[in-house]
Amino acid sequence: MSEQPVICFGQQPCGFFPKRFLVSKIWTALRLQKEIGGEIMFFYHDCDHDPRETQTRLRHSKTGEVQSLNFTFENKIQKKYSPLFAKRVDRNWQANTARQLPNFVNEALVELFAGIKAENVADFCLEMYRGMGLLEGIRVERSGAADFRCKAIDVDDYFVDTRHGGELVRARKHEDGFALHQGGSSFLKVEADCLDKSRITPTRDTRLCWMQSVLHCTHYIAGAGEIKYLNTAEAPEIEFVERDVIERSDEAYVGE
């Protein structure tokens, strides 16, 4: 147990402008820090592979209509199965999107977006969040980092990074091997090395204990949906705090 509070919140990359629910987690953590002190950690789950996570819902500055934008991907394998830290940024997409952004955000945010040089989706989002000043004084720990994975405990339900179709993909432990979920009850079996801890990350149901074995947090800021599936009994040493309410939580945050 830490001698001082360790306040943690977790989130996948959630749009090139962060969703408002992530900003609420940040603000809740900062509020709690003012009350009890300690350090704030952002558990950045950049090995999630779902491309829907980075959908960015922006409100048109004149009409008020909400439009969803997202990264484009080079191929179907990368889009569906590659972890977010391995989905490559398309520079044509970036340039085309930058031309649309003045309809939604101010000039400073357009310039920030256009100037990001990150090569992958996870890095791109993180650089945007930092450039917006949202992570000042907050330590970022990434689930995709090899050193983080090697420090973590073993879990019995997990994914393994492996190669398939020329891409790095995230295969789940399935029956007596590993597979990519193709939808419904369809799975594509693939080869994977489960002995290398630097390739392994947990599923949703094993993520809490896996994360906690490295971060040793005392407080965890949970989202409204997250608090419903977390098995808090697995980590009785953590005080779970539901994030503060924020309006239009699934829209992108572009400043108040």
pLDDT 10s digits, 109-142: 999 999 999 999 999 999 999 999 999 999 999 9
pLDDT reading at 184 higher than 80? yes
pLDDT at res. 227:
83
* Alpha-carbon distances of 149 from 37, 194, 196, 207, rounded to whole Å: 28, 12, 10, 11
**Do the domain assignments include residue 11?**
yes
pLDDT at res. 1:
45
pLDDT at res. 185:
86
With contact defined as beta carbons under 8 Å apart, do 197 and 159 qualify? no
**Do the domain assignments include residue 100?**
yes
Q: Please give the DSSP secondary-structure letter assigned to residue 19.
A: B
**Do the domain assignments include residue 251?**
no
Q: Please give the DSSP secondary-structure letter assigned to residue 18.
A: T
**Do the domain assignments include residue 29?**
yes
**Do the domain assignments include residue 44?**
yes
Q: Which helix (H) or strand (E) holds 127?
A: helix 121-131
**How many structural domains compose the chain?**
1
* Alpha-carbon distances of 209 from 26, 110, 142, 169, 204, rounded to whole Å: 22, 39, 15, 23, 10
Q: Which residue type does 40 have?
A: I
**Do the domain assignments include residue 228?**
yes
Distance of CA 139 to the CA centre of its chain: 15
pLDDT at res. 175:
84
pTM: 0.95
Domain residues for the domain of 68 are: 6-146+215-242
Q: Write down the mean pLDDT value for the chain.
A: 95
**Do the domain assignments include residue 196?**
no
**Do the domain assignments include residue 180?**
no
Chain segment 58-85, per-residue pLDDT in tens? 999 999 999 999 999 999 999 999 999 9
